[in-house]
Chain A
Amino acid sequence: MSTDAIIETHELTKLYNGQVAVENLTFNVNAGEIFGFLGPNGAGKTTTLLMLLGLTEPSSGTARVLGLDPSREPIKVKSMIGYLQENMGFYSDLNARQMLQFVAELNAVPADIIDERISTALHLVGLEEEMQKKIGAYSRGMRQRLGIAELLIKDSKVAFLDEPTLGLDPDATNRMTELIQSLCRDKKMTILLSSHMLHQVQKICHRIGIMIKGRMVAQGDMDQLAQEKFGVGKEKYTLEELYMKYFQEA
């Protein structure tokens, strides 16, 4: 394993009532990269994210996030990771500013810089004009951008994005994609992105891991994956073709 790995897992396994959700998962994510986490629904992607966050105990195996064990030191780990969950919930009777204030206080952001940080975050995600509106009136795209603003408030070094573009219209998807790229570029965040949008993953992810039925069946960059499967470079194949190939074999 490389020395600058932000996330490392070794033989990570999770059973739910005897059923395998994640099996012997070993992978690593390096500092500053966007790692695309692919797989069909129910493949164990979210479970893996929850284990890395310390919200779920692994049945066996180890995980290290920024050198810490999430099940031993969940508070430290959670203070460094921003988690944008699938079907993100918000308190619909708060406005964006109040919501971010709440998150900032939970993360013990010093009181004197909260206001400034909220304004910067809202500016970056383009919600400045809507910040007085109640979140209940937000569109899906706006909610997802508010979710990104929460990560900025936490000033997290690592972000787990679970299906960030699910159900967004093309314009909102593009906006989200650009936002994710800018997080990596400008904020030097390491991003673990789980998604079904193969086209989009191919565009922004540096490396990819494919997870099927609880197992990581492949990991590496596009070139490596294509070489491994078809013996030729990535220019010949789209991620979709690769993914389908793996999926059929599994």
Chain B
Amino acid sequence: MRGIQTIIKKELADHFSSYRFTIIFALVAMLSLITAYMVGMNIRDELAGIAKPQFIFLMLFTSSGALFSLVQFVAFFGPLVGLVLGFDTINRERSQGTLSKLLSQPIYRDVVINGKFLAGVVMISVMMVSIVLVITGLGLIVLGIVPGLEEIWRIMIYLIISIIYISFWLGVAILFSILFRSTATSALAALAVWIFFSFFISLGASVLANALTAEPAGDNPQVHMRRANIVKAFILTSPMELYREATATIIDPTRKSTPRSMVTVGPLETLSMSRFAGPLPLSQSFFIVAPYIISLLAITVVCFAISYIVFMRQEIRSM
């Protein structure tokens, strides 16, 4: 991968010096501070009683305080960061006339995309890690709670999943920047996809489920089951839903804040919950979310593969 370091270095320098990144970073930092503060207030109440909850430290991330928790926040607005970082990756180079210059240097074409993607992933990682560190620090200082070893592991896994999730959206944005010549079009297209997959899918899912199971449900539990299954299957096409599922038992071992529908809980999970009524051990939590993590990785790879194919086939002439 000759030249990839040079490209990453240049992209990182560009990112760090761009206003766009400063704005996003300020926004995200501010919101995470607010969330942490709200959660902090909330946790004080929880800690007031005699029966102390387990995994208090993780509650910093999952307890929703007055408005939303950090985990929900990242699920909603994390994609936006990925999109903003990537929507003009290739078409900006094209409109500046620097793309053909870049490609006439002795480097492979995929090095350009890889370098830009990796630089984006570095930015995302820096952002996520610093947000988590800010909240951790706040928890330590303001509330005086110390994370256990298992909690640290869980937070690290959560971080990795989140980085994959936001990187997926970065990949989508890069794909659009290859497909569309104008940066405005690619930004709008990427936004449209984000809105569609994050918000409309869940609306569409229930409509579709109702349409597919034509008879009125009434009291028939089988129809209800079928509907729930269809909704579930359909909704998993949304990366946001995948991400939620993937992080659910990791960051929230008792699954207090995630609603359990009758179909989401497998027999093993039901058993462990009924018998122990306690948190899932880390290994079990991980097994439950593993398929979702793999799916997240898979859609990222697919998105990237499409970008490769399109980019390799584009004629330089029209660049």
Q: Which residues of A contact B (CB under 8 A)?
A: 16, 46-47, 50, 53, 55-56, 75-76, 78-79, 81, 83, 85, 87-93, 102-103, 105-108
Cβ of A88 and Cβ of B97 under 8 Å apart?
Answer: yes
Nearest CB of chain B from residue A17's CB, rounded to whole Å = 10
Contact of A83 among B2, B17, B97, B104 (CB under 8 A): B104
Please provide the chain B residues from 24 to 45 with a CB less than 8 Å away from any CB of chain A in the complex. Answer: none
Nearest CB of chain A from residue B265's CB, rounded to whole Å = 54
Cβ of B317 and Cβ of A16 under 8 Å apart?
Answer: yes
Cβ of A91 and Cβ of B96 under 8 Å apart?
Answer: yes
Enumerate the 8 nearest inter-chain pairs by beta-carbon distance, A residue then B residue, closest first. Answer: A89-B97, A79-B106, A89-B98, A105-B6, A55-B316, A83-B104, A78-B106, A106-B105
Pairs across A and B, CB under 8 Å, 23 listed = A55-B104, A56-B317, A78-B104, A81-B104, A83-B104, A85-B97, A85-B101, A88-B97, A88-B101, A89-B93, A89-B100, A89-B101, A90-B96, A90-B101, A91-B98, A93-B14, A93-B17, A102-B10, A103-B105, A105-B6, A106-B6, A106-B107, A107-B105
Please provide the chain B residues from 73 to 123 with a CB less than 8 Å away from any CB of chain A in the complex. Answer: 93, 96-108
Given the complex of chains A and B, what is the CA–CA distance between A106 and B104 in angstroms?
10
B219 at the A interface (CB under 8 A): no
Cβ of A75 and Cβ of B106 under 8 Å apart?
Answer: yes
* Chain A, residue nearest B315 (CB): A56
SS class, residues of chain B in contact with chain A: helix
Nearest CB of chain A from residue B22's CB, rounded to whole Å = 15
B204 at the A interface (CB under 8 A): no
Which residues on the A side are within 8 Å of B96 (C-beta)? 89-92
Cβ of B98 and Cβ of A76 under 8 Å apart?
Answer: no
Please provide the chain B residues from 221 to 244 with a CB less than 8 Å away from any CB of chain A in the complex. Answer: none
Q: Which of B6, B98, B104 has the most CB of A within 10 A?
A: B104
Which residues on the B side are within 8 Å of A107 (C-beta)? 105-106
Cβ of A106 and Cβ of B100 under 8 Å apart?
Answer: no
Nearest CB of chain A from residue B109's CB, rounded to whole Å = 9
Nearest CB of chain A from residue B15's CB, rounded to whole Å = 12
Cβ of A50 and Cβ of B316 under 8 Å apart?
Answer: yes
Which residues on the A side are within 8 Å of B103 (C-beta)? 55
Contact of B316 among A56, A93, A106 (CB under 8 A): A56
Which residues on the A side are within 8 Å of B107 (C-beta)? 75, 106
Which residues on the B side are within 8 Å of A106 (C-beta)? 3, 6-7, 102, 105-107
User: Per-residue 0/1 for B296-319: is the Cβ within 8 Å of any A Cβ (1 yes, 0 no)?
Assistant: 000000000000000000011100
Which residues on the B side are within 8 Å of A55 (C-beta)? 100, 103-104, 316
Given the complex of chains A and B, what is the CA–CA distance between A81 and B99 in angstroms?
17
Which residues on the A side are within 8 Å of B98 (C-beta)? 89-91
* Chain A, residue nearest B100 (CB): A85
Known: A53-B104, A85-B101, A108-B2. 5 other contacts (CB 8 A): A16-B315, A76-B106, A89-B99, A106-B3, A106-B106
